[in-house]
């Protein structure tokens, strides 16, 4: 999931930009919305040639400490060439102004500095510092979210493998089969954790998986 950049304009709204393999892409529906397309998906399928799927970090809420909750969502993103195509086909009266904003301001600024800064930011040091601080916080939050996703992927895969196995047995049933007094599902999990067979999330350590205990 690449670093997300968000560019805003009072006339058109916001556009999310991401770099994939050193190439700039933007969220397709952001462009179609700015250009007044009624059906963004149809517009992309008819006019765009370079659509790719990419995971974008989306803010879905706030934590108790005030930081953003970010969820990875797969979205369709388009390269610069498709922005030209969508702009050429748009019948929105303000298309020329949108085109000027994207191609005369945003893209040249990205190529020069790797970011887009409006005049109001460049002329106001305090505002620029605040924007840079927020950008840093957003990137740190997204990095944290990406790290959490990577940590959870092996556990999710293990769950899928076990749930899809015809030979798997539910732990509560195992506890009953053992016939040990007061040995329920939770106590069995606790015992296996104490014996260092399961980790704190009740996932077997690799050595026991390799020994086909699970």
Residue at 158 is within a domain: no
Those residues of the chain that have pLDDT short of 70 are: 1-3, 108-185, 208-214
Residue at 172 is within a domain: yes
Q: Are residues 144 and 171 in the same domain?
A: no
Global pTM exceeds 0.85: no
Residue at 13 is within a domain: yes
Compute how many other C-beta atoms are within 10 angstroms of the C-beta atom of residue 187: 12
Q: Are residues 179 and 106 in the same domain?
A: no
Contacts of residue 136, defined as CB under 8 A and 6 or more positions apart, other chains included, come to none
Q: Are residues 183 and 90 in the same domain?
A: no
Residue at 63 is within a domain: yes
pLDDT at residue 87, rounded to an integer: 87
Q: Which tokens in the block code for residue 157?
A: 């895969």
Contacts of residue 191, defined as CB under 8 A and 6 or more positions apart, other chains included, come to 183
> Which residue range(s) make up the domain with 180?
166-214
The beta strands (E) that lie in the chain are given as: 4-9, 13-20, 23-27, 52-62, 68-79
Q: Are residues 117 and 48 in the same domain?
A: yes
pLDDT digits (tens, 9 = 90+) for 9-31: 888 888 888 888 878 888 999 99
Q: Which tokens in the block code for residue 108?
A: 């040249």
Residue at 157 is within a domain: no
Does residue 75 sit in helix, strand or coil?
A: strand
What is the number of domains present in the chain? 2
pLDDT digits (tens, 9 = 90+) for 132-142: 565 566 566 65
pLDDT at residue 146, rounded to an integer: 60
Residue at 160 is within a domain: no
pLDDT at residue 5, rounded to an integer: 79
């Amino acid at each position: 999931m690449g670093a997300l950049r968000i560019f805003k304009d009072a006339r058109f709204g916001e556009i999310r930009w991401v770099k994939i393999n050193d190439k700039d892409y933007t969220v397709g529906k952001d462009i179609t919305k700015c250009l007044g397309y009624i059906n963004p998906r149809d517009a992309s399928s008819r006019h765009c040639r370079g659509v790719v799927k990419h995971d974008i970090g989306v803010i879905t809420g706030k934590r108790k400490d005030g930081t953003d909750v970010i969820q990875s969502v797969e979205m369709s993103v388009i390269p610069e060439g498709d922005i030209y195509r969508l702009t050429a086909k748009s019948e929105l009266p303000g298309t020329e102004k949108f085109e000027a904003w994207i191609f005369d301001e945003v893209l040249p600024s990205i190529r020069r500095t790797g970011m887009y800064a409006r005049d109001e930011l460049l002329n106001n040091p305090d505002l620029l510092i605040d924007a840079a601080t927020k950008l840093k916080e957003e990137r740190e939050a997204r990095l944290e979210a990406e790290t959490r996703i990577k940590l959870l992927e092996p556990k999710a895969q293990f769950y899928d493998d076990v749930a899809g196995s015809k030979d798997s047995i539910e732990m509560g049933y195992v506890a009953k089969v053992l016939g040990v007094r007061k040995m329920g599902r939770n106590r069995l999990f606790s015992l296996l954790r104490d014996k260092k067979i399961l980790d704190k999330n009740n996932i077997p350590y690799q050595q026991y998986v390799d020994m086909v205990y699970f």
